[in-house]
Structures are given as C-alpha cells and as structure tokens.
C-alpha cells in the first residue's frame, strides 16, 4: 500500500481539471497525493554494465535499460556512472527519440541531463549529441552528469535556442524539446512547486514553448524528427501548442508513438480538434505507473541535402602531444586516440570540429582527457569514467575501508607494487577515479568537488 502525501492543489487547479476530465478528475487528484514510484537506469557505456548492486527484478517494459527501484547517490554504482535515477515516464522520451548511429541529435533543453544521458547510452558513442541548456548553473550540472556517465560523443553548450538558430539551420537529424513547463505532472514529486501554479504561469510557459519549438523547427533537417515533451497536464502547453505549431509549419506531420499499457492517446478536443493529436501520448498517474507526461513526435517533410561542414582544429604542439603520448605509453594499454585538441591547457578528444560551435558557449566538447602541466600531462576524472579496465596497465581494487577513505580525500597505503604511476581505482569492480601510485601509497587525486 502506497503512502498518502499532502499536496495542496488549489481550488482553481481542481476546477480546471474537473471541467476537462469530468468524473475522472478525482482519480487524478488522488493519484497526485499518492507516493510516486522510483526507478533507475543502467548505463550500457560501462564495462559489464549489468553488474550493479540493485535488483533488476522489476524491468520497465518500454525501456531497454530501466528498472523500478531506489538507488543511493552515495553508492559506487552511482558515483561511477553505472546507474542514473530517472522517473519511469521520463524514460520513454529518449526511446521515442530513437537516435540512430551517425546522426546529429540536439537536446535543446537538456539540464540536468536525464534524457541526454539516456540518449547517449543508447547512441553507443556513435554520432553527435549536442546537449544545450540555457541556464548556466544548470548547464554545469548537465556537464558533470555527462562526465559521470562516461559520454564522449556529446558537446555540452550553454546557449539560448535563439542563439543557435542561425548557425544550425537544417542541421540536426533529430531534436528533442523537453520543454520548460508548469510541471503539473511533477507535483507529487515536488509538492512545493504547487505554490507557483497559476493560469497565468501556464500561459507564460506555453508562450515560451512556442518560441523554443519555432527555433527547433529551423534547426531540423528536412526529413528530420522532432520530439516534444513536457511533464505537465495542461492542454495549453501540450495539444494546443502542438496544434498551433503544425499549423504554423505545415511541413511538420505528427506521427504515431507506440503505446504501452497505461499510456493514452493525446486529446484532439484539447487541441482545436486536430485528429492527428491522437498519435501523441499522455501519461496520467491515475492510469500509469509514473509521473504526468506528454510526448509528441513529428517529422519534417522533404529529403535532407548534405550539410556543409567547415572544421577547426586547435592542435596541441608536438611537444605537448609528446607529454600525452608518454602518459599513454606508461599507463595505458594500446588505445586508439584520434581527434585530440586543446582548449587552454586542457586536452580533449573532440566530439566535433565543426566551426559552428566556435561561436557558442561550449562547456565540454567530447571527452576531457586531462591537463598539460609543466613538462607533463595529468589525466582528468572524465577520462577514467570513460575507460574500461582493459585500457589500463594497472587497476587497484579498493576494499570497503580504503574506498571510504579515498572518497573522503585521503591517501591510502597498499601492500602491492606498481611499476607505473597513474593507476585506475575500482571498487566492487567499477572504475571511479585515478590514483597516483608511489611507494606503496595511492595519493589522492579525487576531485575536491566530488569528495564525500
Ligand atoms: C524540463 S527541464 C529539462 C529536463 C531535462 N531534459 C532532463 O531530462 O533532465 C527544461 C529546461 O529548459 C530550460 N529552459 C528554461 N527556459 C528556457 C528557454 N527559454 N529556452 C530553452 N530552455 C529553457 C530550463 O532551465 C530547464 O533546464
């Protein structure tokens, strides 16, 4: 039996949905007062990725990698990017986007990154994922989640959709607009958010979404796919917005989404009677084990031409490359590193060299390998989170006590010798950090911001 919580829905909210849903509205209000189901995802980018400490007995049938259950943010599975907490309904969005190898994908409203990291997990490091977030603080959280999950084919940028429009016209094969919304579908997860709700707020959100959708339209290739999603119930932000969008842009056609038990059709009567809206998808928590969500998939007519790409390259000097080569020779087994470039003193393996990105506020372009120091190269945690045990010359498996100490920022004494200096540290078989070995001691290099 699930617990009941107090979510103070306003009379105005209740009246609106009673008018829209009739007798069913009471079931919805009750569901909003019922505790939500937690769930998490695995990350196929990791070595032996199903080896987690959490039960996989309750798979989510519409997700290849989702499971019902709770995870702990301090567990090794979370720290090393083997799991990501995401509520069930939100998981389906990335499956609906369905990215294909070698496509260019834009996640336009991406922070904190639950859908971006899902998309990357199923892209298997193929193609290009551009993860954009307008808010700087949130963009930095997005970037750290991309790092934790060991993603190397993503560019994390911090721009407004308008900033992107000009340079990226007709550029993307698929765009996800997971729009900022009034969040009605999340009230039970975040009961405090109820206080911000008002009809005016819903209108404001709908208006902002229109502009974001229009930007997305410009950036979508002919023949490309646009997925629009919100976590709110309001018709203004969902059916109404989409009906107006496809009217403004007649090249856009709403296409069907596979519906699993509990998922419902979109409602034409809430969107100027556009019957295609039945192909959209709604998840209401009184019928579906997840939060409230709306998803609509659309295709732009036409056949894509080729996109001209001019490339840039900030190559490290020969001497700088020699520091990286030396590091690799000493500490890694044979690995194939291409597309190395330099940003200030950092070396990256680029996700893209397209000059269009030069005008943007880029937080991360591909995989950060590490930093050039005086006469040497020092590796970054991002790289470790992407590497597999076989890529490393030395891996040391910490015991419970050593792991707790290391995570806390302490060095650990070990009873083992290594001939090289930079070793992979693992706990319960999961790589999570570099360690600097010297004389039976592993010096702590765990980033201060991640220590626990
Ligand atoms: C629903 S959240 C995205 C959640 C994210 N896709 C995920 O799965 O983790 C919407 C995001 O849109 C951003 N946003 C707010 N105003 C925006 C605007 N005018 N244009 C684009 N994004 C905006 C918000 O900062 C927020 O991070």
- Name the pTM for this structure: 0.97
CATH fit for domain 393-452, picks 3.10.450.720, 3.30.930.10, 3.40.50.300, 3.20.20.70: 3.10.450.720
Write down the mean pLDDT value for the chain: 95
CA distances from 34 to 66, 158, 216, 254 (A): 22, 36, 36, 33
- CA 374 to ligand 1 center in whole angstroms: 40
- CA 164 to ligand 1 center in whole angstroms: 15
CATH architecture of 11-300: 3-Layer(aba) Sandwich (3.40)
What's the pLDDT score for residue 1?
44
Q: What percent of the chain has pLDDT over 90?
A: 90
All residue ranges of the chain with pLDDT < 70 are: 1-5
Distance CA 32, CA 12 (A): 16
Is 110 flagged in the annotation as binding?
Answer: yes
Atom of ligand 1 nearest to the CA of 138: 27
Q: Which one of 108, 109, 157, 178 would you pick to mutate in the ligand 1 pocket, going by the greatest count of ligand atoms within 8 A of its CB?
A: 109
In sequence order, which residues have a C-beta less than 8 Å from that of residue 232 and are 6 or more positions away? Answer: 181, 182, 183, 184, 185, 202, 205, 238, 292, 294
With a 6 Å cutoff on the Cβ, whether 138 touches ligand 1 is yes
- What are the structural domain ranges in the chain? 11-300, 393-452
Distance CA 186, CA 193 (A): 8
Q: Could you list the active site residues?
A: 231
With a 6 Å cutoff on the Cβ, whether 208 touches ligand 1 is yes
pLDDT (tens digit per residue) in 126-173: 999 999 999 999 999 999 999 999 999 999 999 999 999 989 999 999
């Amino acid at each position: 039996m699930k617990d009941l919580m107090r979510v103070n829905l306003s009379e105005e909210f209740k009246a609106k949905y009673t008018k829209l849903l009739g007798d069913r509205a009471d079931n919805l209000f009750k569901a909003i007062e019922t505790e939500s189901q937690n769930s998490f995802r695995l990350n196929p980018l990791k070595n032996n990725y199903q080896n987690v400490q959490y039960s996989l007995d309750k798979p989510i049938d519409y997700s290849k990698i989702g499971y019902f259950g709770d995870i702990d943010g301090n567990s090794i599975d979370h720290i090393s990017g083997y799991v990501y907490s995401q509520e069930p309904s939100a998981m389906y969005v990335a499956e609906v986007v369905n990215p294909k190898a070698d496509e260019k994908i834009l996640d336009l409203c991406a922070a904190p990154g639950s859908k971006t990291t899902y998309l990357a997990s199923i892209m298997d490091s193929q193609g290009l994922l551009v993860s954009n977030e307008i808010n700087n603080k949130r963009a930095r959280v997005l970037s750290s989640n991309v790092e934790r999950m060991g993603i190397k084919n993503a560019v994390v940028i911090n721009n407004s959709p308008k900033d992107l429009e000009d340079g990226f016209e007709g550029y993307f094969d698929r765009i996800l607009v997971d729009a900022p919304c009034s969040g009605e579908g999340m009230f039970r997860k975040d009961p405090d958010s109820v206080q911000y709700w008002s009809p005016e707020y819903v209108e404001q959100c709908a208006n902002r979404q229109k502009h974001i959708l229009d930007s997305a339209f410009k950036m979508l290739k002919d023949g490309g796919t646009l997925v629009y999603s919100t976590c709110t119930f309001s018709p203004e932000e969902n059916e109404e917005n989409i009906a107006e969008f496809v009217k403004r842009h007649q090249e856009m056609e709403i296409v069907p989404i596979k519906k699993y038990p509990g998922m419902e059709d979109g409602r034409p009567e809430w969107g100027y009677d556009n019957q295609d809206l039945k192909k959209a998808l709604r998840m209401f928590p009184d019928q579906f084990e997840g939060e409230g969500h709306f998803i609509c998939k659309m295709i732009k007519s036409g056949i894509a031409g080729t996109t001209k790409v001019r490339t840039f390259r900030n190559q490290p000097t020969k001497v700088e490359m020699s520091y990286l080569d030396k590091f690799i020779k000493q500490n890694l087994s044979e690995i194939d590193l291409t597309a190395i470039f330099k940003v200030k003193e950092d070396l990256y393996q680029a996700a893209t060299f397209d000059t269009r990105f030069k005008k943007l506020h880029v937080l991360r372009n591909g995989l950060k390998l590490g930093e050039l120091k005086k006469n040497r190269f020092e590796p970054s945690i991002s790289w470790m989170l992407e590497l597999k045990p076989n890529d490393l010359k030395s891996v040391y498996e910490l015991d419970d006590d050593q792991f707790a100490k290391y995570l806390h920022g302490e060095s650990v004494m070990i009873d083992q010798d290594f001939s090289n200096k930079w070793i992979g540290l693992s706990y319960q078989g999961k790589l999570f950090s570099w360690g600097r070995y010297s004389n039976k001691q592993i010096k702590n290099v765990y980033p201060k911001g991640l220590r626990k």
